[in-house]
Amino acid sequence: MQLDRPARSSKKLIGLTPLIDVVFILLLFFMLTSSFIQWQSLDLMVASGNKGEASDEPPLMLGVHGDGTVFLANEPLANLADVQLRELLVSRDRDVNLTPSDASSIQQVVTLLERLEMLGARSVSVNTRPLP
């Protein structure tokens, strides 16, 4: 007795459900790991060894501590308004010497650099040796 059985197909079907799951997981991964921050640049110049003009005024010595507090001659500038700081910078045509502490972040230093640039600082030097 001979039965007619259809031959099994050698092709296996790929299920779409696992494929959709993998695509969904990849989509979530790339959405969560991408950043949507608009990057901005800050122009910095490296100082050369020779100075052009020497100012009669000593540089304005500013310090940044870890909590973001800005100090002028060991006095916090929390109560000093931008108008007063602008007068210190522009009226005397002074340079600024900025010294960050070990605990201060790069973002705090860059924010202060931008603030000083907006207030009209002629030149800002950043010390590589932090405050004690």
Residue-number span of the structural domain to which 89 is assigned:
60-126
Which residue has tokens 């602008």? 86
Q: Is residue 23 part of a domain?
A: no
43 belongs to a structural domain: no
24 domain-assigned? no
Q: In CATH, what number is assigned to the domain containing residue 83?
A: 3.30.420.270
Both structure tokens of 47:
């100082």
Judge whether 15 lies within some domain. no
Residue 111 lies in a domain: yes
Q: Indicate the pTM of the whole model.
A: 0.54
Q: Would you say residue 120 lies in a domain?
A: yes
Residue 103 gets which letter from DSSP? Answer: T
Q: What is the pLDDT of residues 6-57, one digit of tens each?
A: 777 677 777 888 889 999 999 999 988 887 777 766 666 665 555 555 556 6
Give the total number of structural domains in the chain: 1
Residue 75 domain-assigned (yes or no): yes
Beta strand 60-64 with 96-100 is parallel
80 lies in some domain: yes
Residue 131: pLDDT above 60? Answer: no
DSSP for residue 128: S
Q: What ranges in the chain are assigned the alpha helix state H?
A: 16-33, 82-90, 106-118
